[in-house]
Amino acid sequence: MTDPVDPDHKATPRADGKYAGERWFGWTSHPKAGAYTFIAIAVLSALLFGADFLVHRHEYLHIAEFPVFYALFGFASFAFVVLSGWPLRKLLGRPENYYEPETSSDD
């Protein structure tokens, strides 16, 4: 059975007072959820960084055998994509009043 939805299509609580996704995602409303998530990702990143020195690779390109090559390559690629948005906006952007109706002086 699905949860009832009001006519405005807003989420309504169930009979027990909780919303449908609160069982799985209720922890995200905790005040320190962001800090806990950041710490978990930092610990996972540190573990993977350390494990990268233990794995011996046989790569086609010798530069890829450098222990943190993939992390640095991924960061550089991400930074390139994000920073390429600035010149792309200059190239494709419209002026602020682009969608406003034109005013005519024909009275």
* 17 within a domain of the structure (yes/no): no
- Residues near 65 by beta carbon (within 8 Å), at least 6 away in sequence: 57, 58, 59
* 42 within a domain of the structure (yes/no): yes
* 99 within a domain of the structure (yes/no): no
* 55 within a domain of the structure (yes/no): yes
**pLDDT score of 72 more than 70:** yes
The percent of residues in the chain predicted with pLDDT above 70, rounded, is 82
* 16 within a domain of the structure (yes/no): no
* 29 within a domain of the structure (yes/no): yes
For residue 61, count other CB atoms closer than 10 A to its CB.
8
Query: Which domain range does residue 40 map to?
Result: 22-92
Say which residue, 103 or 70, is predicted with more confidence.
Answer: 70
* 82 within a domain of the structure (yes/no): yes
> Residue 37: CA atoms inside 13 Å, Cβ hemisphere, count?
9
What's the pLDDT score for residue 3? 45
Give residue-wise pLDDT tens across range 15-42: 676 777 777 888 888 889 999 999 999 9
* 12 within a domain of the structure (yes/no): no
Give residue-wise pLDDT tens across range 37-68: 999 999 999 998 888 888 888 888 888 888 88
Q: How far apart, in whole angstroms, are the C-alpha atoms of residue 78 and residue 49?
A: 18
**pLDDT score of 107 more than 70:** no
Q: How many domains does the chain have?
A: 1
